[in-house]
Amino acid sequence: MSNKPHVTGPGTNTGNVIRDSMMGLVPGTVSEIIALNGHVWRDSLVSPSLLEILRLRNARTVNCVFCKSVRYDVARADGLTEDRVELVADGYETSDLAPREKAAIALADAYLGFPAGMDEETAGRIAEHFSEDEIASMMVALMTYNFTSRAAVSNGGMPEDPLPITEMQVAVAGG
């Protein structure tokens, strides 16, 4: 892993963290990415706290130090405390997370796995807790979190040590 980023941002200070990142170097896609991030947080068919659990599960698997340090304001407002965030870990199945939250993590793990995909038991468990519309919504969120976190990681320069927890407003990361 590189100690410094392969590519740096455009040097702008627009106030939007995505536009001011390296993604600002491709004008034809950056606005779509910003809009997508906003839509995921504002228009998804599951709660912000469940989205945050998916995002943090992804961040943990991808090992994006930046993503792991962020907490979205809407998820906190929805009641996701740090105590509950800490449960999104290896032993989540035996934790106090709700069955629906555990099923969401199982979906994230199926998506993130090598190979990606799921067995019948996992598929049945997810279908028991979520409608097909909700599953589609979570898949869109997972893809969004995954490609943005992997963009940060693949660009190099990721800190080795954990960063302080920082609250992120949807307004500065979404359109």
Partner 1 sequence: MTIPITSVTLDQSLSRAGPAAASFARLWTSLWAQDQLPQGLLELCRLTFARLHRDQDELAASNPLAGERPDMDVLSRLVAEDKAHDSPAFTDGEKAVLLFAEYYWTDTQSIPDEVADRVKAHFGDPGLVLLIEALGCIDGRIRTARCLRDMAASRSKMEEVAHVE
Q: How many residues bind partner 1 (CB under 8 A)?
A: 56
- Nearest Cα to Cα of residue 151 among 27, 57, 30: 30
Under the binding rule (CB under 8 A), the answer on residue 18 touching partner 1 is no
Contact at 8 Å (CB) between 159 and 3? Answer: no
| Residues contacting 80, CB < 8 A, separation 6+ | 48, 49, 52, 53, 71
| Residues contacting 7, CB < 8 A, separation 6+ | 22, 25, 155
Under the binding rule (CB under 8 A), the answer on residue 170 touching partner 1 is no
Out of 90, 120, 160, 161, name the contact with partner 1 by CB under 8 A: 120
Out of 11, 15, 28, 159, name the contact with partner 1 by CB under 8 A: 28
Contact at 8 Å (CB) between 128 and 32? Answer: no
Q: How far is the CB of 88 from partner 1 (least distance, A)?
A: 19
Q: Of 98 and 127, which CB lies nearer to partner 1 in the complex structure? A: 127
Q: How far is the CB of 96 from partner 1 (least distance, A)?
A: 26
Output the CA torsion sign for 36, 140, 70, 167.
positive
Contact at 8 Å (CB) between 123 and 106? Answer: no
Under the binding rule (CB under 8 A), the answer on residue 158 touching partner 1 is yes
Out of 87, 92, 100, 140, name the contact with partner 1 by CB under 8 A: 140
Q: How far is the CB of 82 from partner 1 (least distance, A)?
A: 26
H or E stretch covering 167: strand 166-168
Under the binding rule (CB under 8 A), the answer on residue 81 touching partner 1 is no
Under the binding rule (CB under 8 A), the answer on residue 142 touching partner 1 is yes
What CA–CA distance (Å, rounded) separates 138 from 112?
Answer: 13
Query: Which residues contribute to the site for partner 1 (CB under 8 A)?
Result: 1-2, 6-7, 22-23, 25-26, 28-29, 32-33, 35-36, 39-40, 43-45, 62-63, 107, 110-112, 115-120, 123-124, 126-127, 132-133, 135-137, 139-144, 146-148, 150-151, 153-156, 158
